[in-house]
Amino acid sequence: MASKEVGDRIVESLGTLERVHVLEIGAGSGALTYKLADCAERLTALEVDPGLACSLEEAFKKRDDVTISIQDVLEFDFPAWSRSCPPLVPVVVGNIPYRITSSLLHRLIDCHRELGLVVLMLQEEVARRLTAPAGRKPYGMLSVLASYYAEVRYLFSVERKNFRPQPRVDSAVVKLDFAKPYPRRAVDEKLFVSIVRRLFLERRKQVQKMLRKDPRFNLSTVALERLSLDTGLDLTCRPEEIPVDRFVALADSLFRLKGEAKP
């Protein structure tokens, strides 16, 4: 359970919640749930623990605008929920357990077309990774994909002393706005995602070596030179040095090379 001040700041970061349907991930004992119920036009709160969920159901049993669902968020149908929201605007908020953070972030990114604003409290380390620029140590696959599909902002840190019981690590709150994706779009987004994921599997290796040896690409020296000219990238670089716009350029250039290679 986070302190009252942290809960207030999270709700404030969501902006006005009039005409908004909020989905709360991990309602727990309801520290944030009560605040959201007071502000949002409609609230759906997910909680995997039956005991905690039943307590919240009892507390909100007279509220038609609040739904408590005993649900594992990794099995939740975000697109279906989003489609049920209009004319209200869908907004997602939650305090995410570390053990499911990566899986949940990838699920949210996969559902980017159906989602708008998402505000999450995460482990500090993950929040830094999510918002890191190219060339910084935390920068990785998640940094690229999140920044491509959403405008990502680190909002504020939350020291461990703000929780009871106190965890071992600090947390931070981040905002992902899927309504504001990266302005340059890849010609083939599946190819873009596959390249990002493949290159970060071996983030310390040179890009050219992976593109030459991986059978999915199998690029010749001539093709690599063409790719370097097209993208403006020195392909002896490592994936962790490539910003989002250059990953898009890399995907688009590979797309063109594939097209030219077809008989």
Q: What is the pLDDT of residues 25-74, one digit of tens each?
A: 999 999 899 999 999 999 999 999 999 999 999 999 999 999 999 999 99
Domain with CATH 1.10.8.100 in the chain: 189-261
Task: Please give the residue that has the higher pLDDT: either 261 or 164.
Answer: 164
pLDDT at 97: 85
- Poorest-confidence range of 5-9, 232-236, 251-255? 5-9
Q: What is the CATH number of domain 189-261?
A: 1.10.8.100
Domain with CATH 3.40.50.150 in the chain: 4-177
Q: What is the pLDDT of residues 78-137, one digit of tens each?
A: 999 999 999 999 999 999 988 899 999 999 999 999 999 999 999 999 999 999 999 988
Strands 89-95 and 117-123: parallel
Distances (CA, A) of 243 to 78, 141, 197, 230, 251: 29, 11, 14, 16, 13
**Average pLDDT rounded to a whole number, residues 177-182:** 96
Residue 24 has pLDDT above 90, yes or no: yes
Question: DSSP characters for 1-16?
Answer: -B-HHHHHHHHHHT--
* CATH superfamily assigned to domain 4-177: Vaccinia Virus protein VP39 (3.40.50.150)
Residue 180 has pLDDT above 90, yes or no: yes
Mean pLDDT of the chain: 93
Task: Label residue 1 by pLDDT band (50, 70, 90).
Answer: low
Distance of alpha carbon 156 from alpha carbon 234, whole angstroms: 36
Distance of alpha carbon 240 from alpha carbon 71, whole angstroms: 36
pLDDT at 2: 63
pLDDT at 79: 96
Task: Label residue 263 by pLDDT band (50, 70, 90).
Answer: very low
Question: DSSP characters for 206-248?
Answer: -HHHHHHH-TTT---HHHHHHHHHHHT--TTS-GGG--HHHHH
